Structure 1
Amino acid sequence: MSEKVKYELEFPIQVSPSLLYQYISTPSGLSEWYADNVNSRGEIFTFIWEGSEEQAKLLTKKSDDKIKLQWLDDEDTAYYFELRIQVDAITKDVSLMITDFAEDEDEVEEGKMLWENMVSELKHILGSS
């Protein structure tokens, strides 16, 4: 199995970190923009898209800061995806930082486009342009 390719994205979002955190860390928040439905039991999050489901394990969660999950398919690997809130110390501008892995170099663009679509949905919900 070949190594996955890590990539990172930054999306400025004009909302408070605490509000943004609700949307990236809770099943109800994530189901608004990331998947059709999201459930969690303990550390396991179940993401449902049009009938298919994927499970991820919660690795780290820090209030108003970040959430880091790992797909169960990637268990025992170093692969994960992380949604992190970054606040500029001077301007107080808020950005959502996303770290993810693609199967290979060819899929990085596809992965980025997917995140861009999902985050634009999130911005729409939050009323942030």
Structure 2
Amino acid sequence: MQDPNELENLLERRGALWLALSPLWLEREPREREYSRMLEVVETQGHTPQELEMIYRLEMAPVMSRRQMSVAGEWRAFDEDRLLLDLARHTRRLHGWRKGFWLLFSGLTTMMSRPRFDILIERLHATAS
């Protein structure tokens, strides 16, 4: 049986990071202030580049790439509540074969946002130096 507070704990732990990174998947390039916010949240939460890579590839990309490919809806912004709920539901199920599946196919799910994520990682390394 799953802990009834698991969803709340997950949202508390990851919500700010997920929202900060979500502009990586917008149809427009992230703005400078959005990259600054991403860096601020990553640094505040203390994620290493390796941890960030796994969050990006396994937790976010499967959900965000489906939204990105959808022909329905507005793609200039996100319904944050719906986005957080979708990300939390996906992440809660991310174990066993599902984790391996998304890791295997992460090249496809990250293809469109990878250049933007790489810019974030470069900036993260530059601030750490």
TM-based fold match above 0.5: no
Q: Which has a greater percent of helix?
A: 2
TM-score under structure 2 normalisation? Answer: 0.26
Q: Which has a greater percent of strand?
A: 1
